[in-house]
């Protein structure tokens, strides 16, 4: 599978070529897994000479860093759009977050594979550890504020930070689980699990 350059860009445009390599890394990780991805497989997928990769990236780990940043940005943009469309009610925004976490266009098998690669390799790479921490810290803090507002409006006693931590890693665990066993964990069941968690908090008898 080859990755085409973004529409309206020229193949000799350095930024377009860099994005082609990042997209190729995402596709390659999704197709054969991070451990089997090499500079050669990425260059072949991108249709770019292996020698040119060194002009943009030091190696596979740096490409993974950029792939994760790209995936995080795309999922983040999709989630923010869904949350904004849900209105001002904090509970509705949390439900929108759960649905967007497993919805198209941002959430794809390739994106889930990239995130699984990050989670599986972060403990052995200082750069990946730092990126992982930065990505989740800001996300959890935003969710904690939403949980706090939602609990206040519903008159519920809640540890908002703990709820955000649980919700965050429920989502991530289901992403990784979907990659590992898509027969048991479908997109629909994963979304349902997150919605059920929110129901347990906010749909009081």
Domain boundary among 37, 57, 77: 57
Cα separation of 196 and 124, whole Å?
34
**Residue that is written with structure tokens 């990659």 in the block:** 179
34 and 131 fall within a common domain:
no
Task: Say what the pTM is.
Answer: 0.82
CATH number at residue 167: 1.10.357.10
Cα separation of 184 and 182, whole Å?
5
Quick: pLDDT tens for 69-128: 888 888 888 889 999 999 999 999 999 999 999 987 667 888 888 888 888 888 887 888
The number of domains in the chain is: 2
37 and 72 fall within a common domain:
no
Quick: pLDDT tens for 22-59: 888 888 888 888 888 888 888 888 888 777 777 787 77
In three state form, how does the secondary structure of 150-168 look? HHHHHCCCCCHHHHHHHHH
53 and 73 fall within a common domain:
no
87 and 174 fall within a common domain:
yes
Cα separation of 102 and 166, whole Å?
17
Angle at CA 64, nearest 5°, toward 36 and 99?
105
52 and 67 fall within a common domain:
no
92 and 142 fall within a common domain:
yes
CATH number at residue 41: 1.10.10.60
| Structural domain boundaries, residue 24 | 1-57
Tokens for 14?
A: 């350095």
Quick: pLDDT tens for 112-157: 888 888 888 888 878 888 888 888 898 899 999 999 999 999 999 9
Residues 6+ apart with CB under 8 A from 177: 184, 185, 190
Buried b (16+ CB within 10 A) or exposed e, 121-137: bbeeeeebeebbeebee
85 and 25 fall within a common domain:
no
Cα separation of 107 and 205, whole Å?
33
Q: Is the Cβ–Cβ distance between 60 and 37 less than 8 Å?
A: yes
82 and 180 fall within a common domain:
yes
Asked if residue 12 has pLDDT above 90, the reply is no
């Amino acid at each position: 599978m080859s990755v085409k350059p973004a529409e309206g860009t020229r193949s000799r445009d350095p930024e377009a070529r860099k994005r082609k390599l990042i997209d190729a890394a995402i596709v390659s990780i999704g197709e054969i897994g991070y451990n089997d991805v090499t500079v050669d497989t990425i260059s072949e997928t991108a249709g770019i000479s292996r020698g040119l990769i060194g002009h943009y990236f030091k190696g596979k780990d740096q490409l993974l860093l950029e792939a994760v940043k790209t995936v995080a940005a795309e999922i983040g943009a999709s989630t923010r759009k869904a949350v904004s469309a849900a209105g001002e009610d904090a509970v509705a925004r949390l439900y929108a977050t759960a649905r967007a976490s497993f919805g198209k266009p941002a959430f794809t098998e390739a994106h889930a594979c990239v995130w699984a690669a990050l989670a599986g390799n972060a403990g052995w790479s200082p750069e990946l550890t730092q990126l992982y921490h930065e990505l989740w810290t800001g996300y959890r803090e935003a969710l904690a504020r939403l949980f706090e507002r939602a609990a206040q409006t519903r008159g519920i006693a809640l540890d908002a930070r703990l709820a955000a931590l649980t919700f965050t890693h429920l989502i991530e665990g289901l992403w990784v689980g979907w990659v590992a066993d898509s027969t048991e964990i479908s997109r629909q069941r994963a979304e349902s699990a997150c919605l059920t968690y929110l129901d347990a908090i906010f749909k009081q008898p």
